Structure 1
């Protein structure tokens, strides 16, 4: 659903502004990313209103997205698959409560996963040169490590979920 919609929108933009420097495939990709993000955010927020967990969901989505920019992670092939999985993930995480002990454990495991696997799969998703990837790892470690001080449970669970997505089992098996 997302890809065809993005294609129709890109073709419409190109027909209205034929001299636009971006090609239809480039516009389609950019629009697909934006639509994906909009559907995930909108659907998750609507569900959170009914579950009464809006504050938790907003915290989880913000923490997840912020860390994902530094660490990368597994990407699903389908835009709608990503919307479904992300919406279920963020909604589900909003129901998990961590006490201080589990908050610390989740944060420390997240830091270990970053040390081992980050950044993962961002080579074709960022314009940041590969020579700066070690700085992304350090920034991610500092970001996650700050939660040892602040001890926000929904941030810890969001970081934990994001760092689990750094583990690319297919790449690990072939190494």
Structure 2
């Protein structure tokens, strides 16, 4: 559904501006990513208004997104599948409550997963040259390491979930 919407919009843009340097396929790819993000944020925030977990969901989404940009991770093949899974995941995580020990444990586990697996699957997802991937790992370690100081359980659960998505089961 998202891919079809993106193609329709890209075709319309290319028809309206035929001299635009981007091809229809490039426009479709970019628009699909934007639509995917907008749908995830809108749907998740709407659901969180009904669950009363708006603050938790915002923290989870922001922490998840920042770490994901540095570490990569599993990607679903379908844009709609990504929207549904992400919305369910973020909503579900907002109900997880960790005490101090579990928060520290989740944060340490996230750090170890980053050390072993990050970055994962970002080769075709970023314009950052591979020679800078070690810096992304260091930045991710610093980001997660801050939670050893702040001990925020919501952030810990978000970071742990994101770092679990680094593990490539198909190896």
TM-score, with length taken from structure 1: 0.97
Q: What's the CA shift string for 1:128-147, capped at 9, x where partnerless?
A: 01011011001100100110
Structure 2 residue matching 1:77: 3-state secondary structure: coil
2:13 paired residue number: 13
1:89 paired residue number: 89
Deviation at 1:166, TM superposition (A): 0.1
Partners of 1:127 and 1:35 in 2: CA distance? 20
Q: What's the CA shift string for 1:61-118, capped at 9, x where partnerless?
A: 0000000000000000000000010000000000001110000000000000000000
Partners of 1:98 and 1:17 in 2: CA distance? 52
| CA RMSD after TM alignment | 0.4
The answer for unaligned runs of 5 or more in structure 2 is: none
The answer for unaligned runs of 5 or more in structure 1 is: none
Deviation at 1:12, TM superposition (A): 0.3
The answer to whether residue 170 in structure 2 is matched with residue 150 in structure 1 is: no
TM-score, with length taken from structure 2: 0.99
Paired residues in the alignment total 171
Structure 1 residue matching 2:121: 3-state secondary structure: coil
Structure 2 residue matching 1:13: 3-state secondary structure: helix
2:24 paired residue number: 24
Deviation at 1:54, TM superposition (A): 0.3
2:47 paired residue number: 47
